[in-house]
Homo-oligomer: A and B are copies of this chain.
Amino acid sequence: MTAPPIALARWGSFHVGGRLVSLSGKPVRELTLNPGGVPARIDFNGTYLAGAMYAQFMIPADCRGRFPLLLWHGGGMTGACWETTPDGREGWQHFFLRHGWATYVSDAVERGRSGFAPFPDIFPGEPLFFTIENPWERFRIGDGPYARQTPLPGNQFPTDRESWLSFMREVVPRFTSTDDWILDAYLALLDRIGPAIVLAHSQAGFFACRAAQERPNLVKALILVEPAATGDPGKAAALVQIPTLVLYGDFIEVDARWPTIRARGIAFAEKIRAGGGTVEVIDLPERGITGNSHMIMMDRNSDEVALLIQSWLAARGFWSEPTSRPSAP
C-alpha cells in the first residue's frame, strides 16, 4: 500500500540565533584537511558563531493548520526522530504534513545540523553519548537489561535487531551545559516564524514550557509528549492562555524514574490550572492505547497517537476540515 504524493508549496531550511564569541590564545596551525590536499594555514583565534539552530520547513499546498507546527526533539535525538521511523514507516512529520500542517523540524543547539562548538570556553563540559544498551532500559522498552533481549510485555517499540540499530544510528551526543543556549535558539526560532504550535518531546518539554513562558503570545498551543521536565513553576501564570496537552505512554509505574517525572509534570499542570489555564493530561493506556515506550513517535502505533493529537488540535479550532475530497488521508 503506497501513500499518495503530497504537494509542497514551499520547503527549505534556515539557521537562526547563536552568539558571536571571540577566542584568543588559540594556535595558528598548518593543516592538511584532505589526503593529498594542499596545507592551509588556519588561525583558531578570532570570532566564532556558536549556538545557532537549524530548522527545516515543509509547507503543504493544501494548508489546513491555523498555525505552523514546530516539532522539537528530545535529548540524544535530532529532528530526524520525526521523520521515517526506525522500522521504515512514515513518522509524525509525514502524518502532520499529510493532514495539512506546515511543519518546522529543528535540531536543538549542539545536535545535528545545528552543530556544536568544540571548545570548553564556549560549551563547558563534555557531551554525553550512550551505548546501545542504555535507551533499551531508560526509554521503557526492554524488560530488564538489553542482554536479556526481552521487551516489556506488549511494548510497541520496534525491537527487532535491525530496527534497534537503526534507532541507535540516530542517537547523537548531547551536552548537559547548554540549556541557556538551546532556549535562546528556540526563542529566536519563534521570533522568526511567529505564532506557532509547539509539539515537544522529552527534554524539549522543558524548552517548550520555558519558551512559552518567555513568548506567551507566540505559542498558540503546547503539546508535551512525555516531558522530562517542564516550566518555571514561578511563571505558571504565563501559560494560562495556552491550551496544553500532556501525553504519557505505558509502563510508567514499572519504571524507576518515570513515576516521579510524571508526578512533577502533573504538579506543573496543576499550577497552570490553579491560575485558570487549561491543561489536559492523557495517560495513553487509560484511552485504551497501550504499549507505548518513551519514544512514542517511533512506536508501531505512532499514527494512532498522532491522530489523538490531531483530534485535540482540531477540536480546539486550530485546523480546518477539508471542504473537498482530501488529497491526503
Contacts and interface: CB of A to CB of B under 8 A. Distances in A.
A78 B174 CA distance: 18
A302 to B, nearest CB: 13
A90 interface: yes
Interface stretch (A10-18, A213-221, A236-244, A307-315): A10-18
Contacts of A157: none
A132 B47 contact: yes
Contacts of A37: 228-229, 261
Complex copy number for this chain:
2
B117 A166 contact: no
Given A112-B112, A113-B112, A113-B113, A34 B229 contact: yes
A172 B116 CA distance: 7
A224 to B, nearest CB: 13
Contacts of A148: none
Contacts of A257: 38-40
Contact of A173 (B116, B138, B170, B230): B116
A211 to B, nearest CB: 14
A84 B43 contact: no
Interface string A13-38: 11111101001000000010111111
Interface stretch (A49-57, A275-283, A317-325): A49-57
A170 B206 contact: no
Interface stretch (A1-9, A193-201, A245-253): A1-9
Contact of A115 (B16, B75, B84, B173): B173
Interface residues of A, number: 86
A144 to B, nearest CB: 14
A257 B39 CA distance: 8
Contact of A169 (B18, B80, B118, B260): B18
23 contacts: A3-B10, A7-B8, A14-B166, A15-B80, A18-B169, A37-B229, A38-B257, A40-B138, A42-B130, A42-B134, A46-B131, A47-B132, A47-B133, A48-B131, A49-B132, A49-B165, A49-B168, A52-B169, A107-B112, A107-B113, A113-B113, A113-B170, A116-B172
